[in-house]
Amino acid sequence: MTKLTSIRTIAALAFAGSIALGGAVTADENAELVINGELALVTKTAAPDHLKDSLDEIYSGWVYRETDTQAMQMDDFDNPGMVFVDLGMDAWNKVEGTENKSCASCHNDPAESMKGVRATYPKWNEAAGELRTVEGQVNHCRTKNMGAEPYKYVSGDMANMVAMIAVQSRGMPVNVAIDGPVKAAWEQGKEIYYTRTGVLDLSCASCHEQNYGNYIRADHLSQGQINGFPAYRLKDARLHQVQDRFWGCIRDVRGEPYDRGSPEFTALELYVASRGNGLSVEGASVRN
Amino acid sequence: MELNRRETLALGLGAAAIVALPVRFAAAATGDEMIAAFTGGAAVAEGGVTITAPEIAENGNTVPVAVASENAVSIMVLAMGNPTPGVATFNFGEGAGAHSASTRMRLAGTQDVVAIAKMADGSFARAAATVKVTIGGCGG
Amino acid sequence: MADGVKPRVKAPAKAAAGEAVVLKTLISHVMESGQRKNKDGSLIPRSIINRFTCEFNGTMVVDVEMHPAISTNPYFEFEAVIPATGELKFTWYDDDGSVYNDAKMVTVG
């Protein structure tokens, strides 16, 4: 072990307390996620082709949670995130802006018009020539079509809206495109995923590819899949958008996070989403 | 100076105790004082009320808890280790079904959660559950 | 009134006469405990819902006194006896004087 590596290891261990090795992947390997006793979600499946060199199977973050947390997501009333989906639905029907329109004026019932959206974003927008997140598309609609003020990229209003949109795709497999016009962004996201950063010198992969299933202090490390976002986190009892989670992770390794809504984080979101191609859309999920 | 893990822990505990002392003195009503106010100083029997909470809570901010007591008119729930121990008091009316209720509570750390039931005949019963609150690795 | 406060209630639409039904309620509310500090070190004043009640046709089902250790977005689950067709009324009382309501009809028969 070179001196440099040993310093890295010590830093990483100081951060983690210790990573306990040899833990089972999940407390109950056979736990199945069924919502309201009727909608069965895929929480483990074969890794997509582009990941085959690194992982055999991919797992939703749900499988790493304790039984009580898991149970909270299995009923739409017990899931506290769903009240924010209700608030998102209220916002969907609210007329705003100079054009005197609501989301519903053009898109009618989101159960029809938004079905499948969460599963395929971030997605290339041909007219704009850019990769767009659901948040980006919401703000495009608000500013260009409604003549309304954009939501702050990470905010309660935005989280409510993207949660409501995510619910319309619940149970559908994540299926983001990774080639064609998004190829360059996907490669950029992959580069970010594997680049060590911060005082602790950790990459996304250090925890979520090389140590998933192990404990970081008392936390069970997941694969860092984002199929459950937005996620209602018990720690602060609110919905978290995916790029806010990225931001928190990089801050925790004492790095300098990209801006939420930046092209870099959007590229990373595409890449991380593609690592979960095949898992069910779960938003709004419940996590610790 | 080199410290082994045990010595480092001991130092940490000492520091925590020093910090914790003033807070302890400033606390409004302790759990025991709240129980005394609820019971009027009457004797409290063990049993006759149940409390259900996870042995290990993944996050102390949202911990499920359920209480039940067939003959209770009220059940008080206290988180004895919180700076303000009060969680809730359930008063059951004529329209209540089973005299049971669930909620979600905040626990400042590993501690005992106590339920005190006031029975229809004026007697009191007590039950307790210990909940371990884990400390996550990532603030994220 | 605090921002974004929205109640949710789960109650059955139908019941048998005299049946005890399970009710669940949740309301989005920050439940500021009065223990937390701002970035500048000043205490954030307490702002919680301090009482929740459920009545059926004017008869009290449960009356809950709530303290700061109740989690953000307070959740309750309890049972009510439904003797006849009628209305369940749910009321939340905020520290700031606001009162939030919801109601559900339950039909017997």
CA distance B72 to chain C (A): 12
Partner C contacted by B44 (CB < 8 A):
no
Question: For this structure, is A249 an active site residue?
Answer: yes
Q: Which of C25, C67, C93, C106 to mutate to test the interface with B (most CBs of B within 10 A)?
A: C67
CB burial readout B114-129, b (16+ within 10 A) else e? bbbbbbeeeebbbbbb
Task: Give yes or no for residue A58 having a pLDDT over 50.
Answer: yes
Kindly identify which residue of chain A lies nearest to residue B5, measuring between CA atoms: A17
| Sheet-wide strand order for A215-216 | A19-20, A215-216, A219-220
Supply the DSSP symbol for C30. Answer: -
Looking at beta carbons, which residues of chain C come within 8 Å of A236?
72
Mean pLDDT of A202-217: 93
Interval A148-163 mean pLDDT: 98
Instruction: Count contacts between A and B (CB, < 8 Å).
Output: 56
C79: closest chain B residue by CA = B97
Identify all chain A residues contacting B12, using CB atoms and an 8 Å cutoff.
none
Instruction: Check if C91 contacts B (Cβ < 8 Å).
Output: no
Q: Which CATH superfamily is domain B30-133 in?
A: SoxY domain (2.60.40.2470)
3-state helix/strand/coil string of chain A: CCHHHHHHHHHHHHHHCCEECCCCCCCCCCCCCEECCCEECCCEEECCHHHCCCCCEEECHHHHCCHHHHHHHCCCCCCCCHHHHHHHHHHHCCCECCCCECHHHHHCCHHHHCCCHHHHCCEEECCCCEEECHHHHHHHHHHHHCCCCCCCCCCHHHHHHHHHHHHCCCCCECCCCCCHHHHHHHHHHHHHHHCCECCCCECHHHHHCCCCCCEECCEECCCCCCCCCCEEECCCCEEECHHHHHHHHHHHCCCCCCCCCCHHHHHHHHHHHHHCECEECCCCEEEC
Task: Report the DSSP beta bridge partners of residue C25.
Answer: C9, C76
CB contact under 8 A, C26 and A83: yes
Q: Phi and psi of A5, rounded to 5°?
A: -65, -40
pLDDT along chain B (140 residues), means of 10: 44 42 54 95 94 92 96 97 96 97 96 98 97 73
Enumerate the β-bridge partners of residue A202.
A197
Query: For chains B and C, what is the number of CB pairs under 8 angstroms?
Result: 101
Length of chain C (residues): 109
CA end-to-end distance (rounded Å), chain C: 39
Tokens of A82: 């769903």
Give residue B8's pLDDT.
Answer: 43
**What is the share, in percent, of chain C residues with pLDDT greater than 70?**
98
**Distance to chain B for C18, nearest Cα, Å:** 10
Confidence of residue C4 (pLDDT cuts 50, 70, 90): confident
For A45, how many CA atoms within 13 A lie in the half-sphere containing its CB? 16
Biggest alpha carbon–alpha carbon distance for chain C: 60
pLDDT tens, residue by residue, C47-62: 999 999 999 999 999 9
Give the start-to-end residue ranges of the domains of chain B.
30-133
